[in-house]
Amino acid sequence: MALIAEKYAEEIEGILKRFPDKKSAVLPLMHLAQQAYGHMSREAMQEVADILEISPTHVLALSGFYSLYYEEPVGKYVLEICNDLACALRGADEFVEMVCHKLGVPVDGTTADGLFTVKTVMCLGACDRAPMLQCNLKFEEHLDEEKFDQLIARLRAEAESGKEEPSVVEKIMAYAKS
């Protein structure tokens, strides 16, 4: 398949130009592929590998190493809740339980409408604002049940209206063109 090669031809060219060695462009290209394919599927890995002339196994290794690449399909919004030590002391575990209960999915599960995926992650460096989560790379801090309800309501409205905040890929594309 050549999904990103067609869809993001200009961006890929822009990204490749920024590195002395093609292989080094693997992480931004993986973000593009993840956006285009929905997640880091085997086809996505193969396409990135083909573009960069590297082994697909290498792409798989990177997607396994970095927690921002999802090898299984995920929802539109990925809620990555920190349950590392500091957050745990501020009730992160109970918070995770509450979130799962509200959305009706287990950890790593995706809601039936395909909007939300719940994940737990290690420290995101916002211990003073615990409990917290990261939603599509944006931090939501000092969370409690009320704030979480507001967040979910806002995201649902955003998804319905079609007006979305710039995604990581759009940031990458801006970077590629700069």
Partner 1 sequence: MSDLVTVTIDGVEVTVPQGTLVVDAAKMIDNDIPVFCYHPKLKPVGMCRMCLVEIGVPMRDRATGEVLRNEDGSVRLNFGRGLQTACTVVVSDGMVVRTATQPVKDAREAVIEFLLTSHPLDCPICDKGGECPLQNLTMRYGRGESRFDFSNKILLDKHVPLGELIYLDRQRCIQCARCIRFQDEVVDDPVIDFHNRGRRLEIVTLSEPGFDSYWSGNTTDICPVGALTTADFRFGARPWELTSVASVCTHCPVGCNTTLDTRREAIAGGRSVIKRVMPRQNEWVNEIWICDKGRFVHHYADAPTRLKQPLVRKNGQLVEASWDEALDLVAGKLQQHKTAVAGLAGDRLSNEDLYLFQKLFREGLGSNNIDLANRRLAGGDVVAQVGLASGSNLKELGAGDAVLVVATDLHEEAPVWWLRVKQAAERGAVVVVANLRPTRLDKFATHRLHYAPGEALSTIRQLVNLAKVEMETADSDPLAAAADALIKAKNMVVFYGSEGLTYEETDALARLLANLLLVKNGEGHVGRPNNGLIPVWPHSNTQGAWDMGVHPAFAPGYKPVSEPGLRATDIYAGVADGSLKALFVIGADPVGDGLMADRGQLDFLVVQELFMTKTAELADVVLPAQSWAEREGTFTTGERRVQRYYMAIPPIGDSRPDWQILAQINERVGLGKPAFAASLVFNEIAKVVPQYKGMDYRSLARVEKQWPDVGGEDLYYGGTAHENRSGLGQQWACVAESATVERFDVAEQPVIARDGLQLVRVAALYTSGTLIEQSPVLHHRMARPTIQLAHADATALGLADDDRAEVTVNSVTYETAVRVNEQVPAGLVLLSGVPYIAGLTTAQIRKLETAVAQPTGD
104 near partner 1 (CB under 8 A)? no
21 near partner 1 (CB under 8 A)? no
Segment near partner 1 (CB under 8 A), from 27-35, 61-69, 75-83, 105-113? 61-69
In this structure, the strands spanning 138-140 and 133-135 are antiparallel
- Sheet order of strands, 77-82 included: 116-121, 77-82, 133-135, 138-140
* Rounded Cα–Cα distance for residues 41 and 61 (Å): 13
119 near partner 1 (CB under 8 A)? no
60 near partner 1 (CB under 8 A)? yes
Return left, alpha or beta for 117; rule: phi > 0 is left, psi -120 to 50 is alpha, else beta.
beta
Q: For residue 87, what are its two tokens? A: 């957050």
Residue 59 or 81: the one with the smaller Cβ distance to partner 1 is 59
Residue 61 or 137: the one with the smaller Cβ distance to partner 1 is 61
Strand partners, 117: 78, 110
* Phi, psi for 24 (deg, rounded to 5): -70, -15
Residue 55 or 150: the one with the smaller Cβ distance to partner 1 is 55
Q: What is the largest CA-CA distance in the chain?
A: 49
22 near partner 1 (CB under 8 A)? no
Residue 69 or 77: the one with the smaller Cβ distance to partner 1 is 69
Instruction: Give the shortest CB-41-to-partner 1 separation in angstroms.
Output: 12
121 near partner 1 (CB under 8 A)? no
Note the residues at the interface with partner 1 (CB under 8 A). Answer: 42, 45-46, 54-61, 64-65
